[in-house]
Every structure is written in C-alpha cells, then in structure tokens.
Amino acid sequence: MSTKPLSKLLSALKKNRRYIAYGMLAVVASMFISLAAGKIYQNWDDDPDRGAIAIDNGAFGESYQTPVYLEQGWKPEQSLWFYNTTQGSALLPYDLFIALEQKDSDALFRSALNMDEYRYLPQKPTFFNPDGLPVGMVKDTYQGKDYMGFTCAACHTGQVNYKGRAIRIDGGPAMADMVTFLHDLDAAMQAALQPGAKQQRFVEAVLALENNYDSKQQVLDSLAEWQKKVQLYNIVNHSRTEYGYARLDAFGRIYNRVLQHVLNKEQARELLAMATNPAGGRILTIEQVDKVLEGVDETIIRDGEFSQIITRLMSTEDGYPGLNLRQLLTVRNALFNEPNAPVSYPFLWDIAQSDYVQWNGIANNADVGPLGRNTGEVIGVFGILDWEATDTWFSISGWLTGQVGFLEAIKDKLASLVSGQDGNKTIVDFKSSINLVNLQRLESHLKSLKSPQWPEDIFGKIDRDKAARGELIYAERCQSCHEIIDRNDWNRVVIGKMDSIDVVGTDPTMAVNSVSYTGRSGHFKHTYQPTGVGDTITQGTAPVAEILTVVTKGVVATPDPDKWLVRRWLDWMYTLGMSFFDNEIKPSIKQGNYQADTTANPYQSLLSYKARSLNGIWATAPYLHNGSVPTLYDLLLPKKRADDPEEGAYRPDEFMVGSREYDPVKMGFRYEGFDGFSFKTFRAGDLNSGHEYAAARTERADGKQLKPLTEQQRWDLIEFLKTL
C-alpha cells in the first residue's frame, strides 16, 4: 500500500499548521462567544407579567385577573426562558399549527380560550413567543424547517385560582389534558383536509406566512402527512383507562415511541402474523401481513411507514384486511403496550438536587443521568427520530449502545485494510431533532428554582399554634420518609425514600408496567447491556426499560446534526462535560424499604414508589402518584373498605377534576359543583388505596403501631403542611 498520499497530507498539515491552529482557536472562540451570547439572550424577554393574561369566562366558568407569581428564585426573564426554550420537540409543522382552525369553528385551534379548555396556560405575545402560544408550546427548528413542539413547561407549570385571583406556579404540575388535546388536534386537521371554505381559509393563512410552504398542494400534502402521524400516535397510545386532567402515562407513551422506532420488518412480520382474536384465531393471514409490510424498510420502520401500515390495515382496497377499530387495537397490542397507568405530572423544584427521580425512581440523577432522563422525555414528546441503520466500521453511539466493540472495530478495520474489503457493520445512527445543549441548560436552570410558599395574603394566615402541634405529628408520622429541607440552601440534597408497592399499598400499575412491559428489540438483539447487577444480553423480546436505556445512550452520544461538523462536536463535548461537572449529585444506592435488584430480576427495585420532601406540597394537587386523591385532607382519611361503616369519613371514590379553583382549607382543588372529568377510583391505574399512615392502616417500615389521627390532629397536620 502506497504511503505517498499520507506523506503529502502530513507535509501539507505541517506547512499550514499556523493557519490550522488559528482556525481551531477561532472555532473554539466562536463556540464560547455563542454560549456567552446565549446567556445574555436569556434576559431579553423580561415581560413583568411573564406573558400571563387574564381570562374571562374560561373553562368551567372560571374568570381570573392576570396571574401573579410567588417568590421561587426566578425573575420574569428566567420564567419566560424556561417556558420558551426549545428541546427538539416537533408535534407538527409550525405554520400548520398557527393557521389551524377548530373542527367546528372558524376560531383558531390555538386561541386562548380553546387552550384553556385543555387547561394549558394562555399567554400573550412576548419576545420569545411572538405568536402568543400557551406556556410550553414553541417554535422549534430542525433541518431548516419550523415545528410546533413542547417544552418542559407545558407539563411542569401550574396555576391555582382563588376568588378571581390566579397564582402561576413555576415547576408545578400542569392541569393539562394532553390526550383530548391530541384527539381534537387530529379532528381539526381532518376537517381542514376536507374541500370547502375551512380548507381555503387554512391554505391562505399558511401561505400568507411565507415561511415553509409555496403552494396549496404543498400545504395539503404536508397536512395529510402530519395528520396521519398524529392519528398513528393516538392509535398506538389508545387506552381503556381515561386520563382526564392533570395526569398522563408518560412512560407508557415513551416506551411505545421507542418500540416504534427500533422495530425491524422481520420482527413486525412475526408479531403481526401472531396477532390473535378473542377466539384464538389469527387476525391476519400471512399474505395480508406481507402485503401490509410491502416496501417497508428492513432494519428500522420509519414514522411515515408506520402511518402507512396503519392505513393499510384499515383499508378494504387491493386485498388489505380492512380491520375495524377493535381489531386494530388488538393488533396494536401485539406490537406495543397499552399506556394504562397515568400519573400526575411531577413538580420540578429540587429535582436537580435529588438522588433519584421519577415516581418509581427509575432515573439515577448522578453524573450525566439528567441528560439521559431529559432525552427520554423528548423522545416521548414528539422529538423527530431519524434513526437509521448505516454501514460503518465504528461510531461512538454504536459503541456505547453495544452494537460494536471498540477494540473489535479497530481490529476488523485493520483486517479490512489488509484484505481490501470494507469491513463495515450495520450500526444504528441516532440522528434526531433532540437538542442536547438546551437540555443541559434547562437542567442547570432548574437548580435555582425553589418551592412556592403558602401565600398568606391570598389564602389567609397560618395558625401557628395549630402548625406547632402539627409539626410534632409530622415528626412522628411522616418525616422518616419525607424529610424537611431548607429551600434556600443551594447545597441541599434531596433523598428519595423508596417504598415497595407491597408496603405502601398504592395503585401498583405504573410500577408494574415499568418492569413488566416488553417489546421487540430490533437491531439491539444480542447486544450486551449493563444493569446494576451485571451485564445482560438483550433478547429479541426484552424489557422496554432496557431498550429505552439503550436508545437514550445512543441519542446522547450523537452530536446535533443541525450544526456544521466542528461546531457539532465541540458543542457535544461541552454539553457532556457540563452535564458531568455541573452535577453535584454522585452515584449512590437507593434508600428505603424496597426489594433490591437481583441477577434474576435486574429491575426489581422499580416495583416501588418514591417519597420525597414535601416543601411546596400545597401547590401540587391532586395527590398520590396517580392523582387519585383530590386534597391533602382527604389523603389523611382511610380508603373505604367493604366492611367499613357507612357513617365514617373516607377518601372520595369519585370526584371531579379540571377546576383550578383552590380550597385553602382542605388544600387541594375544588372537586364538586362543576362538570369536569369524573375521576372514578375503581379500576387498576385509578385506585386511591394505600399510604394510609394517618389512618394507621398502612404498616410502618419500623413496625411501630400508632393510632389513627383524630379529627383535630388531621387539621393540625394540615396546618403544618402549609408551612413547608
């Protein structure tokens, strides 16, 4: 093999080393200038109302003045930056969302009153939000095109109303009903596809923006394409469990998005052929399966191809099976898992200071863990996943995801150079719209967020004598799991105490699903994956938790495709470095009363729920992880059992959700007297049992026997909780 080309290259590098050095310095300098400019840019949107607006006669007849904010450590510009910082989410093209009308009206789908119906928080136009989208909806850009996507704030900004006044809670749980929002969005898009005046208005409005579209046909083709994607998402995630307001099965939906984007054609063929009806017979013949999968990519099935598969399954033309909705959902169950365990949106204060996060502690918050966690979240909320199998000898993402070994790749490459063969392997490239730089910035931003304190000027003064008595009750009954922290301590660490689902007794569905849900692993079959108790070989059918961990590492290891080559890698290294060095949480074992992971069950510790500090708990109703108890006072009551007397005080088994009107006595939202979502606590996923320590019906970890709280003790404890 001639060495002349290599000699020429070395000679050229040596001759121009000064200019190369200057160029590299310029690149590094431009990166840091850009980062510094980003810090300055964060302060440009400083509307004193933080974009909030008053609402007159909104959902459930609620009217309120322009919302106020409590002292939570953020200035107006810091709140607005959090609301409007993109993370790589792309629900649909931005121009289409801006122009889209409601299904049965010429009013815009994004209008303030319509967004209020779904309990998203309406906003006025500000610098970062020129079109006045609600909190957490923004313009995001990927590969030169604009999209409407979600930010963290869409699910993690709350509001409480009281007698015409409103308080915005940064980092608080949203009241949002995302499921109805997405179904109505689909219906609105279908309506705009029908010829007529509505379609004409829509097309004219899109073209008037003079942005991503140049012709009517281009607009309608794009609308049809994205309507199919929204419809696909709704079908894949259809659940017999109604979510209602203030909760979402986020993990179930993230799991399904992952399975959708790793499944290969061979595995899809096998699963479709094995789908059976209630009588035990096949739903599809082998011939129908092959026709449905005709032309589909062999290695990874893409979004558009999955939409095409759904369309073919429902079609009666050209020999397609013509499935009805029931049959289609049965086929769905063969490919995916039903997301039937909705949980409350977690509050975000102290999240950057926590050792483990998520309701079941699935995410270790140490080192670069937060970057991986946030990447998984964007996978769930519509990040564009342009994953594809490519032929290459090595990639960092391929190495970290177990697709190729480092030394093995070097050895194979050297052998291929000698033999003259390419020596490449098929490795998944994790190209996506996910913005790792912003995810790291957002996590860092949350460090300064503090819990909201009880607003005595609005809700009334705290009775300090009652609170003092309640403090003693809290110390005896609650503090062993829910430790008290100083919200102003920058160096605070929040320890999540894990309680086994068998111990705490609350609805087990979410925790069980996180461990038991499985799916086909696609290209990651027979790769080695680490767990807390050793490496495992991923099987063809594997726990989705395992597959999610794999693909999250792959995305984190993939630089931003929207940046030019050198900047792409410099930003990537900076992001990983900052994620590691800016995170003061170190790896540690979980604490609490739970079953540890074993080699036989490496995910067993996830069969538990996390207790965390209760500062700001007053602003986070409804309660328990699944939102099945409306107020803190009701949480102190027992769940009514069949043999309990009728005249006792019990948790409500049915109540309304959706109102933001606050009850400062019981500490929760109004749950009677309006026509909201009727929450019934009778089925798995919705159960309101467990965590009955106040009623002395849940066994304590220390074995201590205590009597049920008296009525006076309940009110004393409630009063103390207001002080946290």
Q: For the chain, what is the domain count?
A: 5
Beta strands in 410-512, from DSSP E residues, in sequence order: 425-429, 497-500
Q: What is the pLDDT of residues 55-86, one digit of tens each?
A: 999 999 999 999 999 999 999 999 999 999 99
Last residue of one domain, picked from the residues 548, 583, 606: 606
- The answer as to whether 481 is a domain residue is yes
Do residues 360 and 296 both lie within one domain? Answer: no
Question: What pLDDT score was predicted for residue 298?
Answer: 84
Last residue of one domain, picked from the residues 580, 606, 632: 606
680-706 average pLDDT score: 92
Question: What pLDDT score was predicted for residue 2?
Answer: 45
Residue 360 has pLDDT above 80, yes or no: yes
Residue 24 confidence class, pLDDT cut points 50, 70, 90: low
Residue 451 confidence class, pLDDT cut points 50, 70, 90: very high
Do residues 326 and 365 both lie within one domain? Answer: no
Residue type, 226: W
Do residues 270 and 226 both lie within one domain? Answer: no
Last residue of one domain, picked from the residues 272, 307, 335: 335
Question: What pLDDT score was predicted for residue 115?
Answer: 98
Do residues 630 and 696 both lie within one domain? Answer: yes
Question: What pLDDT score was predicted for residue 334?
Answer: 93
Q: What is the pLDDT of residues 413-438, one digit of tens each?
A: 787 777 777 667 889 999 999 999 99
Question: Cα dihedral angle (308, 227, 59, 718), rounded to 10 degrees?
Answer: 50
- The answer as to whether 492 is a domain residue is no
Rounded Cα distance, 225 and 92, in Å: 10
Do residues 99 and 189 both lie within one domain? Answer: yes
Do residues 69 and 203 both lie within one domain? Answer: yes
- The answer as to whether 250 is a domain residue is no
Where in the sequence is the domain holding 328, given as residue range(s)?
262-335
Rounded Cα distance, 445 and 492, in Å: 16
Question: What pLDDT score was predicted for residue 394?
Answer: 86
Given a contact cutoff of 8 angstroms between Cβ atoms, the answer to whether 103 and 198 are in contact is: no
Residue 516 has pLDDT above 80, yes or no: yes
Residue 547 confidence class, pLDDT cut points 50, 70, 90: very high
Question: What pLDDT score was predicted for residue 413?
Answer: 75
Question: What pLDDT score was predicted for residue 704?
Answer: 85
Do residues 394 and 413 both lie within one domain? Answer: yes
In this prediction the pTM is: 0.93
- The answer as to whether 496 is a domain residue is no
Q: What is the pLDDT of residues 488-511, one digit of tens each?
A: 999 999 999 999 999 999 999 999
Whether the bond into 664 is cis, omega within 30 of 0: no
Do residues 235 and 269 both lie within one domain? Answer: no
- The answer as to whether 683 is a domain residue is yes
258-273 average pLDDT score: 93
Beta strands in 612-661, from DSSP E residues, in sequence order: 654-657
Do residues 351 and 398 both lie within one domain? Answer: yes
- The answer as to whether 396 is a domain residue is yes
Q: What is the pLDDT of residues 575-597, one digit of tens each?
A: 999 998 899 999 999 999 999 99
Residue 498: its H or E element: strand 497-500
- The answer as to whether 249 is a domain residue is no
307-329 average pLDDT score: 91
* % of the chain with per-residue pLDDT over 70: 94
Do residues 445 and 526 both lie within one domain? Answer: yes
Residue type, 263: L
Question: What pLDDT score was predicted for residue 3?
Answer: 47
Do residues 78 and 209 both lie within one domain? Answer: yes
Rounded Cα distance, 87 and 433, in Å: 8
Do residues 144 and 103 both lie within one domain? Answer: yes
541-559 average pLDDT score: 95
- Measured in residues, the chain has a length of 724
| Averaged confidence pLDDT in the chain | 92
- The answer as to whether 676 is a domain residue is yes
